[in-house]
Amino acid sequence: MPPDLSAVRAELPSLAAEVYLNTGGSGPLPLRSARAIAAAAAQAAEHGRMSLEVWTRTDRLLLDMRAAAGRVVGAPGDDVALVQNTSTGLDVVVWGIDWAPGDEIVCTDSEHPGLSVPVAVAARRHGLRVRWIPADRVHGDLEAAVAGACGPRTRLVALSHVAWTTGAVLDVAGAARAAHAAGALCAVDGAQAAGAIPVDPPALGVDAYAFPAQKWLLGPEGLGALWVAPAARPRIDLTFTGYEAGGGHSPHGDVTLHAGARRYETSTQPVMLCPGWMASIAWLEELGWEWVHDRTAAAHAEARAALEDLPGVTILTPPGRQAGLLTFRVARTVPEQAAAAMAAAGVIGRWLPEPAALRVSLGFFTDADDIGALRDAVRALAP
């Protein structure tokens, strides 16, 4: 039997307070996750946090956390580093390459600043050239677009799995093939994909894949993961680093790096947050990834159908099965003001600066009443 949607929503009590359609920013926190974090905080208050017993327990917890994050992307925990967020993971890759002036990065015009800013800053600091693929080509033959942008000095292709602007699922497998044909690495921002659609970086052929806890995986802020392909690790060196990169420390900074992706971790991890994210992942696994992904796709399709026939509404998200984001314009409205008006009506989405539009997030927990309220709120925006 599939999960009961009313019982699922009861585990997400924030959904009773408002029509929450902004998981692309931060998802609703399950009760069990909040309780796990509270229990960890209580334990930390009641016992010393660096006894031998706690140290041993913490090491086990972090191993379990990496394993849980690895299961999200179909990989062993040894291939995953725990990071603060998606941007931190992408920074590991962008700054870990041994750049030379004149080297090139291929990126797209559809990237979140969490990727585009590190790329631009690295270009400025190292004298690199960034070849930006126009947004209108991102949704077409992306493999050909990436291949056309790559040259003999291309060292990195960096892009999103799901465009945060339009919600389109991009052909990252094709981008990775084009990158590798040019001898470059391929790094992926998985912020809007992990938890919303099936994610399998090894099968996609990419070299690095970063994703956060707080969006579609319904975990806490301040935690994320970076998957790095074993073959790519020799080409992604350490930048910010510290005690947790390995063992065998000496007074002069010698270290024997961890064999796996854990080498990219720096220092003390947010151990009180890990039980919360693990609880969220365990719940999603209990519900079943196929059901979660199918429900997300169904809610997305239902919301699209509810909006596309409204006067003045233009859907910007490409047709067909995408992820959980739906981007649209309402004629003769200012997106920032429109988002505020929707929020005043109890419907929480967001506005985008480029393209100037509104964006809502449809999750596996979104029900027909939510979609009806969305339709009513958007209809009310019409001049």
243-283 pLDDT tens trace: 888 999 899 999 989 999 999 999 999 999 999 999 999 99
Same domain, 88 and 227: yes
CATH number at 355 reads 3.90.1150.10
Please check whether residue 17 lies inside any domain of the structure. Answer: yes
Residues 65 and 197 in one domain: yes
**Same domain, residue pair 223 and 329:** no
What band does 48 get if pLDDT is binned at 50, 70 and 90?
A: confident
Q: Is residue 338 part of a domain?
A: yes
Is pLDDT of 367 > 80?
yes
Torsion of CA 198, 203, 209, 215, to 10 degrees: 0
The amino acid at residue 53 is E
Number of domains in the chain: 2
Which residue bears the tokens 């929480």? 348
Please, what's the b/e burial string for 41-70 (b: 16 or more CB within 10 A of its CB; e: otherwise)?
A: eeeeeeeeeeeeebeeebeebbeebbbbbb
304 and 161 together in one domain: no
Domain boundary among 228, 251, 283: 283
pLDDT winner (highest mean) among 71-80, 134-143, 246-255: 71-80
Helix, strand or coil, per DSSP, at residue 168: coil
pLDDT of residue 56: 84
How far is 227 from 48, CA to CA, in rounded Å? 32
Q: Name the percent of the chain lying above pLDDT 90.
A: 90
Last residue within a domain, chosen from 283, 307, 325: 283
Mean pLDDT, the chain, whole residue set: 96
The model's pTM is 0.96
- Domain shared by 279 and 293, yes or no: no
pLDDT at 182: 98
**For range 216-224, the mean pLDDT:** 98
243 and 155 belong to one structural domain: yes
What confidence score (pLDDT) does residue 88 get? Answer: 97
- pLDDT value for 212: 98
pLDDT at position 244 is 87
Confidence label for 50 from pLDDT (cuts 50, 70 and 90): confident
Q: How many CB atoms lie within 10 A of CB 383?
A: 8
Give residue 276's domain range.
39-283
Pairing status of strand 224-228 against strand 80-83: antiparallel
366 and 319: one domain? yes
Q: In this prediction, what percent of the chain has a pLDDT beyond 70?
A: 100
- Cis before 355 (ω within 30): yes
Same domain for 213 and 304? no
Whole-angstrom Cα distance, residue 336 to residue 357? 8
Pair (166, 251) in one structural domain: yes
pLDDT at residue number 232:
97
Mean pLDDT of all residues in 128-155: 96
Model pLDDT, residue 243: 87
- Which DSSP letter does residue 27 get? P
Residues 183 and 321 grouped into a single domain: no
Confidence band (pLDDT; 50, 70, 90) for 51? confident
34 belongs to a structural domain = no
Are residue 20 and residue 43 in the same domain, yes or no?
Answer: no
Give per-residue pLDDT as tens, 170-183: 999 999 999 999 99
